[in-house]
Amino acid sequence: MSERTKRQHVVPRFYLRHFTQPDGELWTHDCVTGTARKSTPEKTAYETNIYTPTGEDGARIDLIEDTLATIESQAAGVYPELLAFKPLDTIAKLDFAAFLATMFARSPAQLRQVAQTMGQMALWAGRHEMDRDFREKEALGEVSTVDRAIQKILHSNDMFTMDVDRRAGLLAFQQVEGLMNLMSQMNWSYEISENQQLVTSDNPVFWVKGGGPPDLPGYGFGLGNPYAVIPFPLSPGVILRLDWRRDGAWKRAKLERQRAKLANRYQAKHKERLLFFRDSDQGLCSLAMKHRTPVNQIDLGVPSPIIDVVRKLKGS
């Protein structure tokens, strides 16, 4: 048996190799430390056992990591066709859509946000249970001063914080099949930048709104929205664009410098921590720091205490 992989990349190595210089290295900017370093894809964007939780028997569960490796292998075979601007057949398009969907689900940004959402749901359930107990005591005239103090704390979002194990975020992978099917139905085309290098990040798959009327208050903006656009960087000079337009499939469009800078701004804004680029560029470093606070694409619309996502809960 081969030794299991402990160093697991949040951004696949084969993907980052398309952003390297001839010497096989690229730049990684870390907005937490505020530094940029040059390294190989093998030595950046990884964590230990991020996708392999421990089962009840103490053994690592490698299902997600093994599945990601299979999907990456299929996508790597499709990549040369995309860089050659070839239309993909149905199977190849579905294979690459699976890769894009897992790139979305596996990102630290998604793991954090899904874990936070699970924490909010657990908190709401706990509040509901304790509220019921409080009302029962109140009906019996058995509410103590301590009960009232606990009730006040429980409903004050400023009086406590909550830690959530990041492994709860692995539920993000439940989105993959649905996203893959949607992405495979979208219109795919190419945008080519000749005068501005394009960057990628540790959260390179997201969707933005490409025109259309304002969204109604209280309504989310999902991938199924007719104005949703996924701008996925394939290399420092090419973006694979997914949208719902009825024409333009597999066509090539020139990406003007300002539009290319906008694409980089989207990557900087949606990253969790890391921005990757081929050539050293202080402007890109400044852009990364300008958008150093991670965005939240998941908003349940209900205020809650601060929920910190941690790699391991205390005492576990």
Of 68, 70, 74, residue with least CA distance to 170 = 68
Query: What is the pLDDT, as a whole number, of residue 1?
Result: 41
Looking at residue 157, what DSSP letter applies? T
> What's the mean pLDDT when you consider all of the chain?
92
What is the per-residue pLDDT across 121-152, written as a single tens digit (0 to 9) for each?
888 888 889 999 999 999 999 999 999 998 88
Can you give the pLDDT at residue 301? 66
Residue 266 has a pLDDT of 97
* Phi, then psi, of 199 in degrees rounded to 5: -110, 165
| Span of 3-7, 34-38, 218-222, 290-294 with lowest mean pLDDT | 218-222
Q: Rounded to an integer, what distance in angstroms lies between the CA atom of residue 120 and that of residue 126?
A: 10
Percentage, residues of the chain above pLDDT 90: 74
Residue 116 near residue 307 (C-beta atoms within 8 A): yes
pLDDT band at 217 (very low <50, low <70, confident <90, very high): low
Which residue type is seen at 305? P
**Contact status, residue 134 vs residue 154, Cβ threshold 8 Å:** no
Contact in structure between 251 and 239 (CB atoms under 8 Å): no
Amino acid at 2: S
User: What is the DSSP code (8-state) at residue 134?
Assistant: H
Has residue 218 got a pLDDT over 90?
no
Handedness of CA 31, 163, 314, 114 (dihedral sign): negative
> CA triplet 225, 229, 235: central angle to 5 degrees?
160
Of 58 and 219, the structure prediction assigns the larger pLDDT to 58
Position 285 confidence tier, pLDDT thresholds 50, 70, 90 = very high
**What band does 190 get if pLDDT is binned at 50, 70 and 90?**
very high
- How much is the average pLDDT of 7-21? 97
Q: Predicted confidence band at 300 (pLDDT cuts at 50, 70, 90)? A: low
pLDDT digits (tens, 9 = 90+) for 62-113: 999 999 999 999 999 999 999 999 999 999 999 999 999 999 999 999 999 9
- Decide which of 27 and 157 is more confident: 27
Confidence of residue 159 (pLDDT cuts 50, 70, 90): confident
* pLDDT at site 113: 93
Is the pLDDT higher at 298 or at 25? 25
- Give the CA distances from residue 75 to residues 69, 176, 301, in Å, rounded to whole numbers and listed in that order: 10, 15, 36
| pLDDT mean over 213-218 | 69
Least confident of 17-31, 47-61, 277-291, 295-309: 295-309
Cross-strand pairs, 231? 241
Q: What is the pLDDT of residue 12?
A: 98
Burial label for 268, CB within 10 Å (0-12, 13-18, 19+), is buried
**Cβ pair 233, 270 in contact under 8 A:** no
CA 107 to chain centroid, in Å, comes to 4
